[in-house]
Structure 1
């Protein structure tokens, strides 16, 4: 099994309230040349958590950090004008908390980060340090 020291949170960079699936992201990532979806977990608007890439596989979500991280993506992250915004529904917030609690039990040495801590992006469009550290 891979040594996991990071859980990196992302948004799908889609408009608030628009429903997309892990299958949609898989299609987008394959179109960019990825072997499959780059995230390990995707949180839908209704708070349901869906499997992406198997956790045993190296992700494709954060350049330079994929080998030792788990990638988690929530659907949303943009307002109606495509500006970064924390668009998480209450159900998504609760699901992220539960998922992170579960991941931290399985990977006790992992710290939680936002994608924006490793790349010049707004993603995941909320303050991960404030909320999850």
Structure 2
């Protein structure tokens, strides 16, 4: 869902210095829970604004000048910008000048947030990172302060750090595996909204007879499937029917090519499951590692 800007509803009192100073060099995101009754996933926007109104009044009463968080996320999947990102927050004592805060509305001492709630949290992280033009790591509130906050939300902070909603980091080991396969000449997948993995030198491994002029990750009409900026999620890794495997003389034996094609698809699917499926098991991790090991062997890494 789009982030809803409600900052005009929650003005910060001028007496509070966070109104006067910019956020400075932001290098982290703090994750909180509100320790208030957890709203229903079917709550209306009016219901949620009433909850934010109450948090605003409470934070003002504590001398915060306004809501101390920057973004608040609800089980409905809605995300609200409650304080301008250009200003200090008031949610991590002694660190507000360099941290932005995201709050999961509800209490998560004994339960985990729902998948929809976690996705909203990842959207909030993405929103901050787009503003910041950087990828700021998020950590539990308890990293900086002696507190149990955000309780069990802390178990999912690695998900919020965002491979499920971010363009892949060029240093990400999984996507390095994908690039290794690509360098072997295996180009099977397409993506109409590519965030490039940026090879500096074009890779031209396919002969002209295939009808595809391959240059790096982009073939001119097809891509190695990576990321959709439109939907901010992996694209489903659709096989492009017009893309033919490279000839054997280009990259090796046909059996190896076919195995790499299979591994590429498995690698992508397993990685997507681990980053998007909140119930992924240790078996998924082991299976992914086995795939990575075989890719390393076949690509000589």
Same fold (TM over 0.5): yes
In structure 2, the gaps of 5 or more residues are: 1-21, 41-46, 162-301
Distance 1:86 1:101, change over 3 A: farther
Written as runs of structure 1 = structure 2, the 5 A alignment for 1:48-127 is: 48-78=78-108, 84-107=109-132, 108-125=134-151, 126=153, 127=155
The match for 2:62 is: 32
Higher helix share: 2
Distance 2:104 2:142 in 1: 14
The Cα offsets for residues 80-118 of structure 1, whole Å up to 9 and x where unpaired, read as xxxx23442222111111221232333315221110111
Distance 2:110 2:38 in 1: 8
Distance 1:129 1:72, change over 3 A: closer
Matched-pair contact (CA < 8 Å) for 1:77–1:87: no
Say which SS state the counterpart of residue 97 (structure 2) adopts.
helix
Written as runs of structure 1 = structure 2, the 5 A alignment for 1:4-15 is: 4-15=26-37
Matched-pair contact (CA < 8 Å) for 2:102–2:124: no
TM-score when normalising by structure 2? 0.39
The structure with the largest alpha-carbon Rg is 2
Say which SS state the counterpart of residue 67 (structure 1) adopts.
coil
Is it true that 1:131 corresponds to 2:164 in the alignment? no
Pick 1 or 2: higher relative contact order, CA cutoff 8 A, min separation 6: 1
Distance 2:85 2:130 in 1: 14
Matched-pair contact (CA < 8 Å) for 1:22–1:50: no
Alpha carbon RMSD of aligned pairs, Å? 2.1
The Cα offsets for residues 2-50 of structure 1, whole Å up to 9 and x where unpaired, read as 3210111100012344675322211110111221110000112211011
TM-score when normalising by structure 1? 0.82
In structure 1, the gaps of 5 or more residues are: 79-83
Alignment coverage as a number of residue pairs:
128
